[in-house]
Copies of this chain bind each other. A is one copy, B any other.
């Protein structure tokens, strides 16, 4: 193996290169010790239809269900659920839930968010079945975050190959959130104990998105610039790439291929193989596999140029406009949708496609083949 000198385009830096001019003050109280993203509570408008999508099409495992709620988990999970579908009037996200290291971390969460001036609710009996004592907050960015330690253990189905389907989802991998001011969001998340692994910027220092982790993968959640607070997607992992292809093939066989919004493809950011689906309410679900280990404290941060056409799809396949513009509402602790705040920084879609934007495959090479030109006009024309 001889390594040729040609370096990949993204810049690798020793530390997170994002600075906020509009920072939320760091609380003096220490943050809770978060282990990982654990589950999302989704409000869906037609439970039967949603159940079909998540259970019959995506083959998530039903841990428990009742008339209004379905509790789902992935094949390698041993906690009660990774996804809750709850019937409700407005499609939205009721909670982004993280598991913490110990019961005492709930006290820390309360102190941390109280000091931030956030609305905080603690429930001994938890907010959903299978989860014990938990804290929910409306965080400084407007997102409903939950923290819990106590949870019901269920069978880890990792070895149950008699139950696997070709597209088996084995882990919850991450959340992705839409927020107007990415550097501000990153600073708050770093205070909460997260670390940046990759980000997208332009030459002027505008940050378009940042990926942040607790567990040693590329992310537990990402902050995507846009009108927010909104939920961009929730992502489940498969073992191999062919599992993701199998999901596409099954959607085709079911004549539900229009649930595929983008991909499959290879990400530049994260290096993972991906697919984006839309559920019956339009909630976006990513299927994801094979990012890399990030657990060292000096894990190199990868910063991508927003104009690098391979940042979001390593093969240069176009990101469809809806992927940039559509996202799910999030609820406050009373169950009402949070109002949106508009992004004032540049929009990634605007600066990369259409009349006002540009993308390159090779830096300083303006040549674009004929067959690619049509694709990048698309944004401006819509």
**A241 interfacial by beta-carbon distance below 8 Å:** yes
Copies in the complex: 4
**A162 interfacial by beta-carbon distance below 8 Å:** yes
Given contacts A241-B240, A245-B266, A381-B381, contact A1 B163 (CB under 8 A): yes
- Specify which of B59, B255, B299, B314 is in contact with A78 (CB 8 Å cutoff): B299
Given contacts A215-B216, A266-B249, contact A157 B370 (CB under 8 A): no
User: B8 touching A296 by the CB < 8 A rule?
Assistant: no
B-binding segment of A113-121, A223-231, A318-326, A331-339: A318-326
Determine the chain B residues whose CB is within 8 A of the CB of A39 once the complex forms: none
How many of A's residues come within 8 Å of B, CB to CB? Answer: 99
* 19-53 of chain A: CB within 8 A of chain B: 35-36
- Specify which of B9, B59, B246 is in contact with A1 (CB 8 Å cutoff): B59
Chain B: minimal CB distance from A296 (Å)? 6
- Chain A interface (Cβ within 8 Å of chain B)? 1, 3-4, 7-9, 12, 14, 35-36, 55, 59-62, 76, 78-79, 99, 101-102, 153, 155-166, 168, 170-171, 215-216, 239-242, 245-246, 248-261, 264, 266, 268, 271, 273, 278, 282, 290, 292-293, 295-300, 309-310, 314-317, 320-323, 326, 361-362, 368-372, 374-375, 377-378, 381-382
What are 22 sample pairs from A and B whose C-beta atoms fall under 8 A apart? A35-B297, A101-B297, A162-B254, A163-B253, A171-B292, A215-B216, A215-B293, A216-B216, A240-B240, A252-B266, A255-B310, A257-B316, A257-B361, A258-B368, A278-B369, A282-B371, A320-B371, A322-B370, A323-B371, A374-B378, A374-B382, A378-B378
Q: How far apart sit A214 and B250, CA to CA, in the bound complex (Å)? A: 30
User: B300 touching A153 by the CB < 8 A rule?
Assistant: yes
Residue among A1, A256, A321 with the most chain B CB within 10 A? A1
